[in-house]
Amino acid sequence: MRLLRAIFVWCNLFGVFELSFGAKERNYEFDVEYIYKKPDCLEHVVMGINGQFPGPTIRAEVGDTLVINVTNKLSTEGTVIHWHGIRQRGTPWADGTAAISQCAINPGETFQYKFEVDKSGTYFYHGHYGMQRAAGLYGSLIVDLPKSQREPFHYDGEFNLLLSDLWHTSSHEQEVGLSSAPMRWIGEPQTLLINGRGQFNCSLAAKFVNTTLPQCNFKGDEECAPEILQVKPKKTYRIRIASTTSLASLNLAISNHKLLVVEADGNYVHPFAVDDIDIYSGETYSVLIKTNQNPTKNYWIAIGVRGRKPNTPQALTILNYKTISASIGVRGRKPNTPQGLTNKTNSVFSFIPNSPPPITPLWNDTKHSKAFTKQIISKMGTPQPPKFSHRRILLLNTQNRIGSFTKWAINNVSLTLPTTPYLGAIKYKLNNTFDKNPPPETFPKDYDIFKNPVNPNTTTGNGVYMFNKDEIVDVILQNANQLHGNGSEIHPWHLHGHDFWVLGYGEGKFKPLDAKSFNLTRAPLRNTVVVFPYGWTALRFKADNPGVWAFHCHIEPHLHMGMGVIFAEGVHKIRKVPTEALTCGATAKMLLNDTLH
């Protein structure tokens, strides 16, 4: 009995419980609060978890159950956490979307997220309430294959790079500006961060680039010193890359090293080699690199802005070939993984490469972006999309106005979320909690996507696209000209609760005949997809996951300004929703009445 009790105590301390068939229950306690940090060598208030920024990395194996108790230690606002890329099969209330899958967690309250991770891959988590992702509420989530299974590619060690952007104005100030008349745009980020670290008032590469910034010295600023990736020669390393940026589309390159892309959004892809990769907000990748360069030299890892005229310096860190037997900060799946990661400030200066960092492709070189994106096809053996769909929805992305306020709209409707979570409202048939009229499934055939909108006005709405269980749905994302002047932005769209097949991309306005060019054999599975300026993107998914799911632009200010829609499917098949998810709006009244009666 004492031995069993000791084992239980040990497991409880380390947050791991063994379940059947080798799966584990992994327990975490997350305290969400504002903290002071120096992510770019200047002190800011950011959102952190357990005093950490970014939040702790969660690592699990396929089949494990994650139990995360999130306590809101913010004094004046609610919070939720979305587990980006986790499909939440059977647990739609754990998706972590305020007003969609659950009520916001009030100050002082604790909400338990409990769900199974059913697919290996590179994921992350982030706040999904207001603009809390922009405030720094995010962290990495890695799901490994069970130890009895092998990846379809070999690697000797791995690193994790979580990419983000940082403003020197608070997310609250940004929200107020976006909701003002006239709108005050947030502008470009001041700094790009790699694993929560960057430099604003100095440069790692001052002697190589045209800058007035001094060379970094990091005295007293260890928090912003770069984490140096230490590798051994003649090995293969997996680099997991996730972008949780609020605005910036990014490009990543490692000087003198090819990147072999092998995973996108938790799905294997047909491997292909490139010099650099574009990564949009919400996307994740795994790339393999071979350490086959001169081991006496060091090499830049550079991240720069794409898709918008940049006013933000590149983020830089360093790849260091470690030729001595000892390793610093060894991390990775295997205990004997020959790799290391260090941010010791006395080491940084000796590691500075003796050549300039890679130059980011021109921000508006969309040919480069499209060439990379279109190389992503599924790995042989990946499930193919159904040959036909039951329904096609065309979603026109436009910038519009409501009076003097600027909004983003989909088919001329700007999303505003209700006070009662959709999941509870639909499940328990609570009338009048959201608009029962379904949103438009298309837009006027004569709409000219190359011109400013003839009618610049829009309306708000919170209707839902309802799908039958197992219905095959095509979605065509159509980009258009902006409200004023000439220009069309890049928008990365993320679907909750599903992976979808990317059937293709096209220039100009989508035409029914374009469907003949859809890729129905090697379409990649993704959960986030980009729609290029003045173009369209086609995707297909199966509505086989009962729940209510957000589908939205992953650029934080665009979502805040209404750029999203709501999908619902098979809600009547969901078992009882935990009451803790429904303690607001009409569902709270329903629960109170049930208690009284």
Separation between Cα atoms, residue 591 and residue 424, nearest integer Å = 11
Q: Is residue 3 part of a domain?
A: no
Phi/psi at 589 (5° precision): -65, -40
pLDDT in tens, 40-65: 999 999 999 999 999 999 999 999 99
Separation between Cα atoms, residue 597 and residue 35, nearest integer Å = 44
Over the chain, what is the mean pLDDT? 92
* pLDDT at 385 exceeding the cut of 80: yes
Residue that terminates a domain, selected from 144, 171, 199? 144
* pLDDT at 241 exceeding the cut of 60: yes
Separation between Cα atoms, residue 384 and residue 400, nearest integer Å = 38
Note the pLDDT of residue 347: 67
How is residue 172 written in tokens? 């609250």
591 membership: H or E segment, kind and range: helix 585-596
pLDDT in tens, 412-466: 999 999 999 999 999 999 989 999 999 999 999 999 999 999 989 999 999 999 9
Return the amino acid letter for 257: H
Least confident of 20-34, 111-125, 491-505, 533-547: 20-34
- Does residue 274 share a domain with residue 396? no
Maximum CA extent, the chain: 77
* pLDDT at 177 exceeding the cut of 50: yes
pLDDT in tens, 387-396: 999 999 999 9
- Does residue 249 share a domain with residue 363? yes
Q: DSSP readout, 258-298?
A: -EEEEEETTEEEEEEEESEEEE-TT-EEEEEEE--S-TTSE
Which residues span the domain enclosing 371?
Answer: 157-324+346-375
Separation between Cα atoms, residue 529 and residue 374, nearest integer Å = 11
pLDDT in tens, 323-359: 753 333 333 334 333 346 665 545 687 889 999 999 9
For 38-120, list the strands marked E by DSSP: 44-49, 58-61, 65-72, 81-84, 110-116
Least confident of 234-238, 276-280, 329-333, 577-581: 329-333
Task: Give residue 214's region: left, alpha or beta (phi > 0; psi -120 to 50).
Answer: beta
Domain count, the chain: 3
Q: Is residue 161 part of a domain?
A: yes
pLDDT in tens, 193-238: 999 999 999 999 998 888 888 988 887 668 899 999 999 999 999 9
Residue that terminates a domain, selected from 110, 144, 178? 144
How is residue 578 written in tokens? 């935990």
Note the pLDDT of residue 238: 98
Determine the average pLDDT of the residues in 469-496.
Answer: 96
Q: Considering only CA atoms, which of 69, 96, 78 is closest in space to residue 549?
A: 96
Q: Considering only CA atoms, which of 138, 139, 143 is closest in space to residue 121?
A: 143
- Does residue 112 share a domain with residue 245? no
- Does residue 411 share a domain with residue 351? no
- Does residue 510 share a domain with residue 409? yes
Q: Is residue 298 part of a domain?
A: yes
235 membership: H or E segment, kind and range: none
- Does residue 498 share a domain with residue 412? yes
491 membership: H or E segment, kind and range: strand 491-495
Confidence of residue 191 (pLDDT cuts 50, 70, 90): very high
- Does residue 363 share a domain with residue 236? yes
- Does residue 362 share a domain with residue 220? yes
Q: Is residue 383 part of a domain?
A: no
Q: Is residue 241 part of a domain?
A: yes
The CATH number assigned to the domain holding 59 equals 2.60.40.420
Q: Considering only CA atoms, which of 560, 539, 578 is closest in space to residue 92?
A: 578
Least confident of 106-110, 263-267, 484-488, 539-543: 484-488
Give the ranges where 157-210 is alpha helix by DSSP (H): 171-178
Note the pLDDT of residue 341: 60
- Does residue 505 share a domain with residue 436? yes
Q: Are 236 and 287 in contact (CB under 8 A)?
A: no
Separation between Cα atoms, residue 213 and residue 199, nearest integer Å = 10
- Side-chain half-sphere CA neighbours of 100 within 13 A: 30
- Does residue 252 share a domain with residue 220? yes
Least confident of 180-189, 212-221, 359-368, 513-522: 212-221
Q: Is residue 340 part of a domain?
A: no
4 membership: H or E segment, kind and range: helix 2-14
Q: Is residue 273 part of a domain?
A: yes
Residue that terminates a domain, selected from 85, 111, 144? 144
Q: What percent of the chain has pLDDT over 90?
A: 85
- Does residue 565 share a domain with residue 421? yes
Q: Considering only CA atoms, which of 529, 540, 176, 166 is closest in space to residue 376?
A: 529
Q: Is residue 529 part of a domain?
A: yes
Note the pLDDT of residue 466: 97
- Does residue 269 share a domain with residue 181? yes
* pLDDT at 9 exceeding the cut of 50: no
Note the pLDDT of residue 7: 41
